[in-house]
Amino acid sequence: MMIRVALPTHLKTLARVSGEVALDVEGPVTQAAVLNALEAVHPVLRGTIRDHVTHRRRAFVRFYACQEDLSHDPPDAPLPDAVALGDEPFLIVGAMAGG
């Protein structure tokens, strides 16, 4: 399946891409599968979105799709059909913090 991924500006700069990234994901379309495909195509992103060893999402990174926050969903949970079909992007967003 061809999946669309939207990255925050700093990660697009790091990966040297503009706009959305199109990824070919084999098998079930899950957060883990999308991130594995993204890191395979853009190895410079390894460790920026999730931890190198545990593969847990970094604290200030959030995942969205179809106007839903998927950040706390299990990594192997299927993503919405609209993402799997390429109709909607999987959004990786840098969270804001401060006071």
Amino acid occupying residue 57: R
Does the pTM surpass 0.85? The reply is yes
C-beta of residue 92 within 8 angstroms of C-beta of residue 61: yes
Q: Is 61 within 8 Å of 90 (Cβ atoms)?
A: no
Question: How much is the pLDDT for 95?
Answer: 77
Q: What are the tens digits of pLDDT across the range 5-63?
A: 999 999 999 999 999 999 999 999 999 999 999 999 999 999 999 998 999 999 899 99
How do residues 72-89 score in pLDDT, each as one tens digit? 999 999 999 999 999 999
pLDDT band for position 1 (50/70/90)? confident
DSSP result, the chain? -EEEEE--HHHHHHHT--SPEEEE--SS-BHHHHHHHHHHH-GGGTTTSB-TTT-PBPTTEEEEETTEE-TTS-TTSBPPHHHHTTSSPEEEEEPP---
| Residue 97 clears pLDDT 80, i.e. is over it | no
Instruction: Record the tokens describing residue 74, joined without a space.
Output: 């299990």
